[in-house]
Amino acid sequence: MNVNLDPTHEPSLRSWVASANDASTDFPIQNLPFGRFRLRGDTDARIGVAIGDQVLDLHAAGLVDHADMNRHMQAAPEARRALRHALSEGLREGASQRMTWEPALFPQAAVDMVLPCEVGDYTDFYVGIHHATEIGRQFRPDNPLLPNYQWVPIGYHGRASTLQVSGTAFHRPMGQVKTPEAEQPALAPSSRLDIELELGIFIGSPNAQGKPVRMAQAEQHVFGIALFNDWSARDIQAWEYQPLGPFLSKSFASTLSPWIVTMEALEPFRLPFARPTGHPQPLPYLDSEANRAQGAIDIQMEVVLQTARMAHEGHPGDVISRSNFSKAAYWTVAQLVAHHTVNGCALRSGDLFGSGTLSGPSREQSGSLLELTTGGKHPITLSNGEQRTYLQDGDTIVLRGTCEREGARRIGFGECRGTVLPAYEPEQV
């Protein structure tokens, strides 16, 4: 039994918000994820907690005295846990808070979600070993996994200004593309637009510059996790990534689900973490007894592709991939924090880590079209007969994530949805 479980995780708990008791909801009382929302016609964002198909306005309910999510995230873990307990007690059946909290409830369908917090810095990691191996195999058949991968949590600094909340469409990116037969590159819309099935990890408590975060304290600095789609232009990427890595191929759009599932809510779904047999153990600063005992998190994920034709015909789209964080990730959340700060880097509340593409070991568990179609060589056929190698204009991608196990209440992350619009041609800019 996980020693960090408490009464808020009790699977038999029920809420006076009736929709939270539906077995299919992502947001039962055991979850209580945080996000920001606006009432229609309002310009100010509010802090909310999802409960069933409703959102509870924390300020209107008298639970916080501000509307600053980053301020809330930087609170000490003890304060964040105390608020979770207060929410759990006040939302459960028979609670006396019902009369005063009901006016602070709004239907999620009637509000506009915004990014869950202000993101100052965004780092994209590369923790999916199966993804790294398959991509390496396509580009370096004789040496698919570079030697530093087993020792260093590889990452690069991304662009926070183009992060967008679920439900936001974006334009196909323009960039330099060079085909093998061309003598010089050309500016063109990307024709190899791809997805990346990732998780977004949000920093809560900051650390001081020059002071590394040790493994024993690493997760105390993490507020929670959301779904993350780091859209990628593979043709632009192939031309620009050497020698310094991705640039315009990644910075045009990245989509986040609007709800942050807290680390406390994920406690029932912890698993032991171990390196594959024959792989070297991490250096001591990336290792701890707690990380080995329960560093992995059992998060099931799926990717849905809905074409424009499907949307027109009322078809919800096809599941094209399923994967699991605990089986895909070569590095844990704690290891990412410890490595990111070992050089003295200061993390701030609201900073975002992308996990990197979380592909499983088999083709149907691929977290990108680059893997699913073997670099575009083998198109996937959808249930309506359409085929895809990469995304076309009008395509919508939906990421979903859930956690479930026997003896625990199923929780989810909500949707991470984005739609591809045609590119802006240079004369339109």
Q: Which residues are marked as active site? A: 131
Before 141, cis peptide (omega within 30)? Answer: no
Q: What is the CB neighbour count within 10 angstroms for residue 156?
A: 17
Tokens of 11: 């699977």
Cβ-count burial 331-356 (b if 16+ within 10 Å, e if not): bbbbbbbbbbbeeebebbbbbbbbbb
Tokens of 338: 């410890």
* Alpha carbons 135 and 347: distance in angstroms, whole number: 30
* Alpha carbons 144 and 267: distance in angstroms, whole number: 35
* Alpha carbons 90 and 9: distance in angstroms, whole number: 15
Q: With CA atoms as reference, report the closest residue to 319 among 304, 307, 300.
A: 304
Q: How many helices (H) and strands (E) does the chain have?
A: 11, 26
DSSP H or E run through 399: strand 396-403
Are 154 and 126 contacting, i.e. CB atoms less than 8 angstroms apart? yes
* Helix%, strand%, coil% for the chain, nearest 5: 25, 30, 45
